[in-house]
């Protein structure tokens, strides 16, 4: 995305914010922390380094952050209310980017308790800490999955998001509602970002592009659910992190157009906002595979499978409200983003090209 005008950015950097990032060793967390550190902020990162996927990748991301001045890390789970409160008391962050969560639509079906503990109890703990320590702004990751059974595309924030098709989606929608209650009751500025299928260097191994790349290089078949007849609004990591940082720089405010007789689902007369953060250019899954094959220089063995529980056929983001709030932006195309991911993969996993 395009940079902010120089005036506001210089003012924020000069102030040297202390920002807490939860899930700092995660895919998005590492990238957001790197941007903030590069512009001179102090960053406190926390992560529980769980084994949902290979912790070695999380440790490698963390090592990149620990090599930069201004970064401190604590191994901590957001579900641990006492430890989280102690950290807030010690560090006194001014702003928070909350990315820590148990992820995985299908995983939420087989392990619902982990989602309840991390995504619900952990989020309550975060809200309580922000309230009691007078945090200026809480930005948190929601998900495009909140749109659930809604089939009207592109998704816009005005649409009702009350029909989740997975527990993961339900927890993310619950986070939005919980945030509003704290914005209303305590004046805590909160901004939710409904993220759409984020990919790129240092990405999560459970995500499709990562899994497809590994399987193609290993000569293994890739699983295409609904026989590949799916569409996703793939969003490159640089575009997502730029949006999150720019949202952090502009704390949520009450909407002057909010009408309690006809309430807007994602605005309020409290300091509360929710925005779609997506590429805005949905891509058929089979086209994505074609692009990946071209970048890798290898064909994929395609295994066509039926639709999986918790999945949706298509996602597409309308980001008009986001652009009105943070200004003009750039969306990286899959044609440009996929080769950048492949280059990172082949470099990070030495020998993958010859495997």
Cβ-contact 232, 282 below 8 angstroms: yes
Closest CA to 42 of 17, 15, 59: 17
How far is it, in rounded angstroms, from Cα 183 to Cα 186?
6
Residue 53 a catalytic site member: no
Least Cα distance to 59 among 47, 70, 69 occurs for 47
For 191-222, give one letter per residue: b (16+ CB within 10 A) or e.
bbbbbbbbbbbbbbeebbbbebbbbbbeeeeb
Q: How far is it, in rounded angstroms, from Cα 39 to Cα 246?
A: 13
231: β partners: 284, 314
DSSP code of 19? E
* Alpha-carbon gap, residue 156 to 147, rounded angstroms: 9
Q: β-strands 42-47, 18-22: how paired?
A: parallel
Alpha carbons within 13 angstroms on the beta-carbon side of residue 319 total: 29
Judge whether 240 and 326 are in contact, CB under 8 Å. no
Task: Point out the catalytic residue in the list 155, 168, 182, 272.
Answer: 168
Whether 48 contacts 75, CB under 8 Å = yes
Residue pair 56/90 in contact (Cβ under 8 Å)? The answer is no
C-alpha distances (whole Å) from 3 to each of 7, 238, 283, 331 are: 11, 12, 26, 13
Q: Which residues are catalytic?
A: 168
């Amino acid at each position: 995305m395009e940079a902010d005008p120089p005036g506001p950015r210089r003012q924020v950097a000069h102030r040297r914010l202390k920002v807490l990032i939860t899930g700092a060793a995660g895919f998005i967390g590492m990238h957001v922390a790197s941007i903030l550190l590069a512009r001179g902020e102090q960053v406190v990162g926390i992560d529980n380094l769980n084994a949902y996927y290979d912790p070695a990748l999380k440790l490698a991301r963390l090592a990149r952050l620990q090599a930069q001045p201004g970064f401190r890390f604590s191994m901590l789970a957001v579900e641990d209310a006492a430890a989280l409160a102690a950290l807030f008391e010690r560090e006194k962050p001014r702003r928070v980017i909350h990315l820590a969560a148990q992820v995985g639509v299908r995983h939420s079906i087989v392990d619902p308790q982990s989602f309840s503990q991390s995504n619900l109890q952990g989020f309550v703990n975060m809200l309580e800490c922000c309230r009691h320590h007078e945090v200026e702004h809480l930005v948190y990751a929601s998900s495009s999955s909140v749109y659930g059974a809604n089939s009207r595309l592109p998704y816009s924030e005005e649409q009702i998001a009350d029909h989740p098709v997975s527990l993961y989606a339900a927890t993310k929608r619950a986070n939005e509602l919980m945030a509003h209650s704290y914005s209303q009751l305590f004046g805590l500025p909160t901004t939710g970002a409904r993220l759409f299928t984020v990919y790129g260097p240092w990405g999560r191994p459970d995500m499709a592009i990562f899994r497809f790349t590994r399987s193609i290089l290993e000569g293994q078949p890739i699983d295409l659910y609904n026989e590949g007849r799916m569409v996703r609004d793939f969003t490159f990591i640089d575009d997502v992190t730029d949006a999150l940082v720019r949202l952090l720089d502009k704390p949520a405010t009450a909407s002057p157009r909010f009408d309690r007789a006809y309430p807007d689902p994602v605005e309020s007369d409290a300091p509360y906002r929710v925005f779609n953060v997506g590429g805005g250019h949905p891509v058929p899954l089979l086209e994505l595979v074609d692009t990946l094959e071209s970048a890798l220089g290898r064909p994929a063995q395609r295994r066509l499978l039926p639709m999986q529980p918790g999945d949706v056929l298509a996602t597409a983001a309308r980001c008009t409200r986001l652009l009105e709030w943070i200004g003009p932006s750039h969306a990286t195309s899959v044609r440009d983003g996929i080769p950048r991911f492949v280059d990172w993969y082949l470099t990070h996993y030495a020998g993958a090209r010859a495997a």
